[in-house]
A and B are shown apart, each in its own frame.
Chain A
Amino acid sequence: MELTLDRVTKHYGSKIACDRISLTLHPGVYGLLGANGAGKTTLMRMMCGVLVPTFGSITYDGIDVSCEDYRDALGYLPQEFGYYPEFSALDFMLYIATLKGIPKLRAREKARELLELVSLEKEAKKKIKTFSGGMKQRLGVAQSMLNDPKILILDEPTAGLDPKERVRFRNLISRLGADRIVLLSTHIVSDVEHIAGTILVMKDGRLIHQGALEEIIRTIEGRVWECIVPQALVDSLCERYPAINMRQEGKDVFLRLVGDEKPCDSAIAVQAALEDLYLYYFSEVNAK
């Protein structure tokens, strides 16, 4: 079971949204991180056959992304999409099941099971137009799993979920990752921090990092600093170093910074976390 991307590229006019991305994915959970506009959605859409790459190929065990067999193995939750407002949640699930070619009886069973999994079993008969944002998002997650996909691609699946559902979702994903390829994108670093076996970091259409959490964090190990400085110093420090955290402490300000050298005398080196990395790469300071 292997999903291979070979120099996948997408151009929008002169804009390069994805630039020669090569990847090989095996069963497990992959977290895709990147700032707004990094090209995450574009990449995922190409992996789902919704967009055709300008260049490059995507294959799953030798099956091209444009084949029906590829889509048969695929589950996809788009970042944002429309529902049929007059359909009930169950109708919607059954419709998607039909589109996925699942036999009727099995579809009904599976739909109920999944609605329960995302705690929508009570709302199954309600029209989707009466749903809240988070409920719709859960329904979206449920539909993506209808065909027991071998490749599960989720674009910001946790957006809009409340903390309780978020925890449920995280557990669900780590369970699913055991025997399939799960790729999820998010801005909420803590969502992937503990469940993603591999972290992929995208910036400006390119894949800049790829590896296990520890490996990735190692790149900024020893470069995360915390200090408490007077208000007057804050601006100059923040201009030079990406600030990860900032908090008023009495008259002074607590700062967490990333920098190659010690930013100020009072600074102490601390252990790096994924969020530090994320902010380090995507902060304004670094972009300059």
Chain B
Amino acid sequence: MPEIESHDFDVVVIGAGGAGLRAAIEAKGRGLRTALVCKSLLGKAHTVMAEGGAAAALGNVYPEDNWQVHFRDTMRGGKLLNNWRMAELHAKEAPDRINELESWGALFDRTPDGRILQRDFGGHRYARLAHVGDRTGLEMIRTLQQRAVAMDIDVFMECKILRLLTDGSGQMSGAVGYWRATGEPVSFTARAIVLATGGIGRSWKYTTNSWESTGDGDAMAFWAGADLIDMEAVQFHPTGMVWPMSVRGLLVTEGVRGDGGVLRNSEGKRFMFDYIPEMFAAETADTEAEADRWYDDHANNRRPPELLPRDEVARSINAEVKAGRGSPHGGVFLDIATRRSAEYIHRRLPSMYHQFKELAGVDITTEAMEVGPTCHYMMGGVRVEADTAATTVAGLFAAGEVAAGLHGANRLGGNSLSDLIVFGRRAGMGASDYAEGRSGDPSVDPAEIDTVLAEAFAPLGREGADSPYDVQHDLQETMQSLVGIIRTESELVEAIDKIGELRERAGRVSVKGGRAYNPGWNLATDLPSMLTVSLAVAKGALDRRESRGGHTRDDYPKPDPALGKINLVQRLVDGEHTITPEELPTMPAELAVLLEEGH
């Protein structure tokens, strides 16, 4: 193949959401030659869609809040499958990172005494989410983007990375991809690489995720030999829109419930009171009166069951619909109209108002919304070392949704945005340290690059009946129906078979048109990662024979204490996809006591 465009950097960050931006800012701040690569335009990454807020124990609204309580909430929400060290660092560092955003220009909503206001969210004991109305992700990404621009970081927009490249020593050395505008290839050599590619939700039919969330980072890390953990831990958000069909799956922020909204079934009943699990019984209100008092007085009342962790609420909604008590379009009702004034709703939830008004013709200040579970967030992913964000491949780092560990089996709302800035920064530091101390200059193998590109370009010339859209469609149907919110052995086995067939079909898809800005071809190059990651999710789900957090098995409805102590680790060994149980890191006693009741 002829010479291709190539670039040399100290640190290449793949992904320009909150995590990637924060990592690049750190590396650039260290004076390293830093590149930031993303599939979309700068500022459009998934982070922009985050609504409710970023969790940090600032203690501005409840002075009794502190990192210990945040740590506890995160671990309990994650059903203790979390990497304790990540949860500790996250709880300790989130407040500094939020304050840092403010010093970079972010304008958060304020308390009456002028500090950053915090809102209530599920699973958080205190009002903890720093926010800007319901567009917190936009504020975060714009602040970081403007900071990156001010620092003159090299940005490669609409550039899709296909594969990571290691050198003879096994160190991460570069990456290869193409420009979407022209379809021309581009390669990078790098002393260290940070993956910040976000989520995997695009493989489900009903999802809050954008076209970008195809799990490229998880797949590329896996192909490069890195470990993936907890791949079965997929979060279904309890409240997605269910109607009209064209917006089915679109997120309805948990902020609606945090601000007073309640869930009702077709009989008008607040059914969440029937689904309070043992683990949270002591801290959850059991009468409507107590739940309603809680909004104004957290100290003397327990929280409403609508604000249980997401896995609990999603399962409960699912059960109500199954029992025939759903709404006309197969969801349940989320009602804030009868509970808060129109003025309050407009101020607190402006984009939800807008979204329902314009897309569903529903006025949320006078009518209830119809909502149901939707695929939302990937807790599992690339295994990282807590302090440095290093993966198990030398020179490769990962942060944000693509990395695993912090959230365990279930993520609390608001803990992702804070994750991005805490571990984005740490990944930037880890990668910078590695780049500075690296032995030997990175080199990439041109023959390997040629092979990767040849494979990527193959669908363009090929004759064949299958379009990449058909394969994507069938994958989404498969994952939705067989690897969805409630799972069972026979269906998972069937899913694994089907994914195998889809992989064969994906190898034969043909695409019309040329390379220049061709979405059909772009999708064809996303399919290998979607399929690899889907397979890993199904395999993990099959092997975890228990229910824990986001992973629910019909045939094993209870958590299994023995399985609660292991991660399922997936890796390629001599070309073979393996899955092995490995012990979780042990938590020091002084942290373990924080998890007990009363703390």
Q: Do A and B assemble together?
A: no
